Amino acid sequence: MQYKVLFVGLGSIGQKHLKNLSSLVDVKADALRTKNEPFENVENIYTCYESIPDDYDIIFITNPTTLHYEAISKLKNKAKNMFIEKPIFEKLYDSEFSSGVNYVACPLRHNSAIKELKNFVENNKVYSFRAICSSYLPEWRKTGDYRNCYSAKAEMGGGVELDLIHEIDYLKWIFGRFDKISKISGKKSDLEINSNDVAVYIFENKNVIGSLHLDYFGRETIRQIEVFAQNETKVFDLTKNKDDMYIEEMKYFLNLIETENKSGYNTPQEALESLEAALS
């Protein structure tokens, strides 16, 4: 079977998804871009919504976060399914989606350390957790000047709360929805950006209390979670992932649209709950 797909935006993450998708299935790919210039492995380039056909199997929303709402609103009837890059929006919108699978990216759920964490939590009495995602933005965003990337610009949906929303997604997925959320955030470093470069959250539900630290200025990359359980304290290091989580995620997404089993995936409603928590 050949999949007819449209990519809305073809930056680094869009290119990654196109490459991974093409490695798994036969693909006929088009793209919506600001410039009508040839692009490798893309057949048709469109520069406006009105010219886009309405018979796609999948539309990938991989443009800047602040443009997601417009793209989804104008394209929801042009495809059977959507793959939406995180975060779903930069603020809480009331949006409609197509009747097929609408999947919001959550690759960390396919990280081997997160899989081990989920298994541990399901088989142990956990009281608390302490999670962190810390890295140095100029080294993380190596393509071009970090000051020009979307992470650096609040008006484009940048800032640690939205940029690192994967952490909130996996915490909510593993520990359940949080009843109480507190956050302190701001711009504290000398990085030349106008977005928040640090945020600290405290979460609570009936089972656990936990904390999450996010920043753009840590000179040593740290992405891990300590879990304090009844009988042991265990550390899970997400940087030591054993799988290509983006390939695993694409396999998972294709399985969703090819089978009747639609349970367990990150729906727009779940993604909006994570966004609400991030913006709290």
Cα separation, 247 vs 255, in Å, equals: 12
Q: Are 14 and 83 contacting, i.e. CB atoms less than 8 angstroms apart?
A: no
Tokens of residue 16, six digits: 């990654």
Q: Look at residue 202 and tell me whether its pLDDT is greater than 80.
A: yes
Number of Cβ within 10 Å of residue 5's Cβ equals 24
How many DSSP H helices and E strands does the chain contain? Answer: 8, 12
Name which of 66-80, 135-149, 164-178, 196-210 the model is least confident about.
135-149
DSSP annotation of 101 reads -
Positions of CATH 3.40.50.720 in the chain: 2-106+247-267
pLDDT of residue 185: 97
Q: What is the pLDDT of residues 166-179, one digit of tens each?
A: 999 999 999 999 99
Q: What is the pLDDT of residues 81-124, one digit of tens each?
A: 999 999 999 999 988 898 899 999 999 999 999 999 999 999 99
Select from 3.30.360.10, 3.40.630.10, 3.20.19.10, 1.10.20.140 the CATH code of 112-242.
3.30.360.10
Instruction: Pinpoint the alpha helices (H) of 141-194.
Output: 160-163, 165-175
User: Is the model's pTM score more than 0.85?
Assistant: yes
Dihedral of alpha carbons 78, 83, 84, 85, sign: negative
Q: Report residue 248's pLDDT band, with 50, 70 and 90 as the boundaries.
A: very high
Q: Look at residue 144 and tell me whether its pLDDT is greater than 80.
A: no
Positions of CATH 3.30.360.10 in the chain: 112-242
Cα separation, 248 vs 234, in Å, equals: 25
Nearest to 154 by CA among 191, 122, 127: 191
Cis peptide leading into residue 87 (ω within 30°): yes
CB under 8 Å to 231, separation ≥6 — which residues? 124, 125
Q: Look at residue 180 and tell me whether its pLDDT is greater than 90.
A: yes
Share above pLDDT 70 across residues of the chain, in percent, rounded to a whole number: 99
CA neighbours closer than 13 Å in the CB half-sphere of residue 198: 10
Tokens of residue 180, six digits: 């109480």
pLDDT of residue 124: 97
Cα separation, 259 vs 182, in Å, equals: 39
The second-level CATH assignment, the architecture, of 2-106+247-267 is: 3-Layer(aba) Sandwich (3.40)
Number of Cβ within 10 Å of residue 22's Cβ equals 15
Q: Report residue 195's pLDDT band, with 50, 70 and 90 as the boundaries.
A: very high
Q: Report residue 38's pLDDT band, with 50, 70 and 90 as the boundaries.
A: confident
Q: Are 129 and 170 contacting, i.e. CB atoms less than 8 angstroms apart?
A: no
Tokens of residue 235, six digits: 């550390």
Q: Report residue 134's pLDDT band, with 50, 70 and 90 as the boundaries.
A: very high
Q: Look at residue 40 and tell me whether its pLDDT is greater than 90.
A: no
Q: Look at residue 261 and tell me whether its pLDDT is greater than 80.
A: no
Q: Look at residue 143 and tell me whether its pLDDT is greater than 90.
A: no
